[in-house]
Chain A
Amino acid sequence: MKQIVVISGKGGTGKTILTASFAALARNKVMVDSDVDAANLYLLLNPEIVETHSFSGGKKAYLTPGKCTCCAHCIEACRFDAISETGEGEIFIDPISCEGCGVCSFVCPEEAIEMKSAISGEWFVSKTKYGPFVHAKLGIGEENSGKLVTEVRKKAAEIAVEKSLDYIIIDGSPGIGCPVIASLTGADMAIVITEPSLSGIHDMERVIQMANHFKIKTACCINKFDLNEKNSNYIENWCQKKSIPLLGRISYDQDVTNSMLQGIPLIEYTDFSVSGEIKNIWEKLILLLKT
């Protein structure tokens, strides 16, 4: 069984479009949307939810106003700037900034702060015409997206073992931080999809360095390559120099938006050039996974 994860560094370069097409091309697989704070893959896979689980990532601090004497020890102790004094001289704990460490509760001489578990998201196991799909929705402004990613990946791995599947296909999130690291750990290959802009190149280089840091193999593809062919050539040369396999180039095409509007994977929307480019990428990827 092989785990492949699609990442990009920069947002909006086409991760979900590519993942959905892989979902339609691969046999015997389970799909995962690990972009838990802005999940979009479900919009293309039309899932029917069969299981819903709540996720509790951590605790948050709650103040009992009657007990608080406003001594402000908690304000001093909090390293996350989550506690402040209001204009009315009351203590306010901002739930969005609170990371749930419990230091405020520990230092409070009046025992006025309680740490309570908060439900910080939900995750789902769904049926799709392409196979099983594990996805999630993180609560508003929540911490712990990395933990939730780990949770959905664990479930997908169980499904893959139980059904003897060949692939786990993971849609990643932008950036190089906590949720991306969680989506990458233990994967067999990270597919980095980029675009030929200075930002796209810079972000691709950083995300590949990050994957190298965690010893995950990478392969690259260039989306909208014809927007700036000089930059696309730069990316190809850079990949060659770093011995990173280039899986292919994808043209800038209105059909990408059209397929999204229809709510289906791109390769099911059209048989034309851009679809062929993605099929070639998938075939190259399968060969690469065998080596």
Chain B
Amino acid sequence: MIIAIASGKGGTGKTTVAVNLALSLQEKNPVQFLDCDVEEPNAHFFLKPKIHKTLPVNVFIPEIIEDKCTFCGKCAEFCAFNALAVLKDMVLVFSELCHGCGGCSLVCPENAIREHEQKIGVLELGTSNALQFIQGTLDIGKAMSPPIIRAEKRLIDKSCTVIIDVPPGTSCPFAEAVKESDFTVLVTEPTPFGLNDLRLAVETIRKIEIPFGVILNRADIGNKNVQEYCREENIPILMTIPMDRKIAVAYSTGKTIIEIQPSYRQKFLDLYTKIQRLIQ
């Protein structure tokens, strides 16, 4: 089973939920943890994995073979991302705009475009106790995270319970990370920002057609509007976590909730049981 832990708004507790759920489960099931928040991966602070293997993630960038090129301009005309510009006697490649689709080399009538690999990030594979750990990291200055998320998801081991820590927002990195999960947990907080971004995340998840539920973090700050929204929309609230300064302080030092309050382990196991029931 693949469970994605997501939220529209950042900083609502995705990583906290993902990490505590994974650690609670690992005694019962084999668990694989994927940190897909590749722009800012943080789960490693809590899981403290031993990394065994580091793999580069590359995308294909066009390279013009100058003595074959006739400057016909077909490549630039085809490129949907404006990553190529053909001048009178020169072709400019804007690699930061290139999505690596390979279209330019397909359309070139002279076979004058060869693709070379450009590194945009890394995957790190390791273990944390019984847990399999995979983290993707986008290189600084690179714009596109989806290829790293895709590379990470190709390593999914379906014999495990897979927990995915999803990047914030509701656009392409979010969609890429939750896609093909069996269940998505949306973590939010009961504030106007939390509600606004939850709504956007719900619209997206409904479009992708994945079963989902909500976890309300810092449940006693703010107001009751998130609960009301969930009731009206028939969205199950799977768990509530109260505002607790001790949890916030523990988080700041890389400690998990179940480390400082072991009674939470059962709550996270109950969460898993609820998710199993909702999928069936």
As a 0/1 sequence over residues 48 to 89 of chain B, the CB contacts with chain A under 8 angstroms (1 = contact) are: 000000000000100000000000000000101100000000
Q: Is A178 part of the binding interface, using a Cβ–Cβ cutoff of 8 Å?
A: yes
For chain A, which range describes its interface: under 10, 10 to 19, 20 to 34, or 35 or more residues?
35 or more
In the assembled complex, 5 residue pairs joining A and B whose CB atoms fall closer than 8 Å, in A order, are A12-B11, A141-B170, A146-B143, A175-B40, A175-B169
Q: Which residues of A contact B106 (CB under 8 A)?
A: 77, 103, 106-107
Contact partner, A96, options B15, B175, B197, Cβ 8 Å: B175
For chain B, which range describes its interface: under 10, 10 to 19, 20 to 34, or 35 or more residues?
35 or more
Q: Is B172 part of the binding interface, using a Cβ–Cβ cutoff of 8 Å?
A: yes
Give the residue name and chain of the B residue nearest to A182 (CB).
Answer: B143
Q: Is B155 part of the binding interface, using a Cβ–Cβ cutoff of 8 Å?
A: no
Give the residue name and chain of the B residue nearest to A58 (CB).
Answer: B80
Give the residue name and chain of the B residue nearest to A207 (CB).
Answer: B40
Is the CB–CB distance between A99 and B101 below 8 Å?
yes
Binding site for A on B (CB under 8 A): 8-12, 15, 39-40, 42, 45, 60, 78, 80-81, 99-103, 106-107, 138, 140-146, 150, 167-176, 179, 191-193, 196-197, 200, 203-204, 207-208, 221-223, 245, 248-249, 251-254
Is the CB–CB distance between A227 and B252 below 8 Å?
yes
What total of A-B pairs shows CB separation below 8 Å? 196
- Do A81 and B150 form a contact, CB below 8 Å, given A96-B207, A97-B179, A174-B10? yes
Question: In the assembly, what is the distance between CA of A80 and CA of B99, in Å?
Answer: 9
The residues in A between 209 and 247 inclusive whose CB is less than 8 angstroms from any CB of B are: 209-210, 213-214, 224, 227-228, 231
Q: Which residues of A contact B221 (CB under 8 A)?
A: 254, 257
Q: Which residues of B contact A174 (CB under 8 A)?
A: 10-11, 39-40, 168-169
Is the CB–CB distance between B191 and A260 below 8 Å?
yes
Having A79-B102, A145-B172, A176-B138, one finds 17 other A-B pairs with CB under 8 Å, namely A11-B10, A38-B169, A80-B150, A81-B150, A96-B172, A97-B179, A99-B99, A101-B103, A106-B107, A141-B172, A141-B207, A175-B167, A207-B40, A228-B253, A257-B222, A260-B192, A260-B193
Q: Is A196 part of the binding interface, using a Cβ–Cβ cutoff of 8 Å?
A: yes
- Do A199 and B15 form a contact, CB below 8 Å, given A101-B80, A106-B107? yes
- Do A196 and B179 form a contact, CB below 8 Å, given A101-B81, A141-B171? no
